Amino acid sequence: MTKGDINRQAIRKLKPGKLVIASHNAGKVREIKDLLGLYGIEPVSAADLDLPEPDETGTTFIANAELKALQAADLSGLPALADDSGLCVEALDNEPGIFSARWAGPDRDFNLAMRLVRDNLIAKGPEAGHDAHFICALALAWPDGHVEAFEGRVDGVITWPPRGSRGFGYDPIFQPNGHAISFGEMEPERKHAMSHRADAFAKMVAAVF
């Protein structure tokens, strides 16, 4: 039995106190802080602690979230929460997927990334569907190497042109099913109630608090 197998045998509870949010993405940090609001947690971002960003070498959202959380917990000596999330466009074989941030280039230009999604869909021809989903994996790690992981999803369609200036990343071109507006147009409280991140967060809260 490996250390990872032992670590996963029982859910570990998260106690009130400081928690590192293992991200340098200000939008993600803001959303996670909002979601943590009522649980006695004192969030501090990896950027605030000058922690490095690890290379995301995992082949799944959960693998990347785990490696980020484990590094932040090891370097800070505190529990750490990491998010790995992305947009999966079904007609593009679920790309950009785990490479969602990389499509934005070194300058994190998500206007460029959204245009790439549009251009790739156009290249697929007029019969290509616009179904898409967001995936969010949350990994919660402790300095001793224990890690818990949770995954959430929200389904929708790609819309063009981009709509709205709220949210971040691909939000302006993603319209969730059952809604007439994009995530980029949606009030933060409304998005928090039904997003992929909210889905993963609800699973985590049910397990660790």
Domains of the chain, by residue range, sit at 3-8+16-208
Told to judge if 84 belongs to the known catalytic residues of this protein, a careful annotator would answer yes
Nearest Cα neighbor of 141 from 2, 20, 17, 1 is: 20
| Both tokens assigned to 167 | 């949210």
- Domain 3-8+16-208 belongs in CATH node 3.90.950.10: yes
**Position 133 confidence tier, pLDDT thresholds 50, 70, 90:** very high
**Position 34 confidence tier, pLDDT thresholds 50, 70, 90:** confident
Query: What pLDDT does residue 4 have?
Result: 47
Note the pLDDT tens digit of each residue in 7-17.
Answer: 445 789 998 89
Question: Which residue in 34, 48, 83, 84 is the catalytic one?
Answer: 84
Dist. CA 145–CA 74, nearest whole Å: 8
pTM of the model: 0.87
Among 30-44, 115-129, 158-172, 174-188, where is mean pLDDT lowest?
30-44
Kind and range of the H or E run holding 81: strand 80-89
Query: What pLDDT does residue 6 have?
Result: 43
Residue 169 · residue 27 · CB < 8 Å: yes
Range 96-123 average pLDDT: 96
Confidence check: pLDDT of 54 > 50: yes
**Position 40 confidence tier, pLDDT thresholds 50, 70, 90:** confident
Query: What pLDDT does residue 27 have?
Result: 81
Dist. CA 186–CA 57, nearest whole Å: 32
**Position 26 confidence tier, pLDDT thresholds 50, 70, 90:** confident
> How large is the C-alpha radius of gyration of the chain?
17
